[in-house]
Structure 1
Amino acid sequence: MNKKLNCIMLVDDNPDDNFYHERVITRSNAADIVIPKESASDALEYLRSQKNNHNTHPDLIFLDINMPGMNGWDFLMEYTKLDKKLQSRAVIVMLTTSENPDDKMKARALNIAADFKTKPLTKEMLEKIIIKHFKQTIPDQIILP
């Protein structure tokens, strides 16, 4: 039996993107729990509140860059201030519409985000991320949305 992730968090101010990406994750059977957050500050507050709850702490966080208020870069700076145990539990993937090479270079330079991908999230992209960062495969019965 192939193992899947326990929890994936989506941080994106666009509810349509969150809905679509949650659907890709659910239909791919890639995680037991998907937690969509429409702001970076809500996502950080959730992470802080889940400090001792291992079941609902994300294994993987998909983070948008361009959001009102606190953007993805601000989120990463605040994320580094969280308890180190919390940080070590999650892989962060920047998932954005930006194809700006400066954004990719900035993400690499910060060395916080593990990967940088362009929206939309696809089944194939999700598979590659899980294999690359979690050294496992997701189940074969994947259905496209």
Structure 2
Amino acid sequence: MPQVILIDDDLEHHSFAESLMKTYDFFDDFKCYNDSKAAIIDLVDAHYGEHRLPDIILLEVNMPDLHGWDFLEMFENLKTLLAKDIPVFILSSSIDPEDKIKSEHFSVVKGFYQKPLTAAVVESVVSETRRANFLKRL
């Protein structure tokens, strides 16, 4: 079963998202980061066997310090070192249409959704992830 990580500086959204994620049997592990730097460090550590690599990343692009866009640039460079493809789904408070367009320039981004996380978004992420995994097996 997949491990999902949420990178978002909104701690209330962490609690809400975690309770929603627990209702789905598709996910066996859900971890939240309020800082994208910590997430990058854990991804690098996972590459070296310190942690399990996630299967899905949910990312807020509007964050202080290391912005979500910066995270995506770093992750795009890191992905060549990782043992598997990890799709990123933007889950953002942004209503700027340019952000959705900008997200399409990152090969790891597989979807752009508005916050808050909803059952419909979870179902869409699950569906897209299953479809991508099925296509990889062909």
Aligned residues of 1:64 and 1:95 also touching (Cα < 8 A): yes
Q: How far 1:23 moved relative to its partner?
A: 1.2
User: Residue 31 of structure 1 aligns to which amino acid in structure 2?
Assistant: F
- Displacement of 1:82: 1.1
Cα gap change, 1:64 to 1:107, in 2 (>3 Å):
same
Deviations 1:20-40 (A, max 9, x none): 111111122231111111111
Pick aligned residue for 2:125 from 124, 129, 133: 129
RMSD: 2.0
Q: Which runs of 5+ in 2 are unaligned?
A: 133-138
Larger relative contact order (C-alpha < 8 A, sep ≥ 6)? 1
Provide Cα deviations, 1:80-121, integer angstroms capped at 9, x if missing partner. 221515274311000001121100000012333111000111
Q: What is the TM-score of this pair, normalised by structure 2?
A: 0.86
Check whether the contact 1:28–1:123 (CA below 8 A) recurs between aligned residues: no
Question: How far apart are the structure 2 equivalents of 1:100 and 1:87?
Answer: 34
| 1:69 and 2:71 correspond | no
The number of residues matched between the two structures is 132
Mapped to 2, the partners of 1:68 and 1:93 lie a distance apart of 19
Segments of 4+ in structure 1 off by > 4 A? 52-55
Identity of paired residues, percent?
Answer: 25
Paired residue for 1:41? 37
| Range with greater deviation from structure 2 (105-114 or 91-100) | 105-114
Residue segments in structure 1 that go unaligned for 5+ positions in a row: 137-145
Which residue, 15, 27, 36 being the options, matches 1:19?
A: 15
SS in 1 for 2:100: helix
